[in-house]
Amino acid sequence: MPAEWEPHEATWLSWPHREGISFPDSYDSVMPAFAQMVGALRESEKVCINVMDYDQEEQVRFLLRDTDTAHVEFFHIATNEPWCRDHGPIFIKREQHPRLAILDWAYNAWGGKYPPFDLDDAVPTRIAERLQVPVYYPGLVMEGGSIDVNGSGSLLATTACLLNPNRNPNSCKAEIEQSLCDNLGVSHILWLGDGIEGDDTDGHIDDITRFVARATVVTAVEDDPQDRNYEPLQSNLKLLKTMANERGKPLKVVELPMPPRIEKGDRRLPASYANFYIGNKVILLPVFNSRKDQLAIEILQSCFPTRKIVPIDCRELLWGLGAFHCLTQQQPAT
């Protein structure tokens, strides 16, 4: 599996449905963030959007009427919800022809939390059929947001998510590690602990720690000792400072601030600057109208000096409990 910063052929999205459960009573208010996301990728790469049918395609075209969509291609692939990072394909590159292939992990909506998910579970195979590339079935429940790779042999994950019994209760840690190595071409698993408060995925890595180079990570750090995220993120930080990549090179750890607490109703939402998406020419960065936004922009710009940082307000989008990385899936260039 190539690193996310390696060249893309396209970015895949699954467009949400007004009647879906991800954005209760807020579909219209999250559409501006979706439009900005599609528009920001215009100079970067093709955007492939999964829609239910021609009716939804026309609805989305209307929503994007003020956006140049010459780079957009629609695919009539039905979905339940919009979180393409998790239900979408994991693209891998092979030595043999065709170079591109797809992994179709089993998908159960983060431990069976949000049925139905049958349409989402079928998305990788439907995309493989459309692209006419091989598809492989590792046989484990896995989401794309639960792993992050450096493209040369190392993989980040959390024990809180991957070892949660609501995914693969009959598989031990060693078996899960072996499957990751066999299917993703990695040799070195870096395990962190817990995720952030409000994250209904049981601790996806893409809300806390991300590779930005072969031996460099950015990791979310909470500076308020009274915040519930302080201890788990400090614990992860300490672990990272002891770790090395697959070649034995110690990790360079760049600290990324956590945004202020954001709530809706009585629920904390999983706001994190770590949920950015790396495009060919841009970084889509979730921001939250906070004084910390600018610091996050500067940190990510230092990590990706040749890419444009595109900050997009995610306060409405966050009601769906995810941001840009959760919504996207990269297709590597071949």
Q: Which residues pair with 10 in a beta bridge?
A: 46, 331
Residue 326 is among the residues annotated as catalytic for this protein: yes
What is the sign of the dihedral through the CA atoms of 226, 227, 231 and 234? negative
Strand partners, 135: 102
What SS3 state is found at 256?
strand
CB of 201 closer than 8 Å to CB of 110: yes
Q: For the chain, how many helices (H) and strands (E)?
A: 11, 18
d(CA 306, CA 286): 19
Q: Considering the candidates 48, 303, 314, 326, report the single residue annotated as catalytic.
A: 326
What is the total residue count of the chain?
334
Measured distance CA(64)–CA(38) in Å, rounded: 8
Alpha carbons 177 and 51: distance in angstroms, whole number: 34
DSSP three-state, residue 66? coil
- Identify which of 161, 85, 109, 121 has the alpha carbon closest to the alpha carbon of residue 326: 85
Bridge partners, 257 (sequence order): 221
Catalytically annotated residues: 326
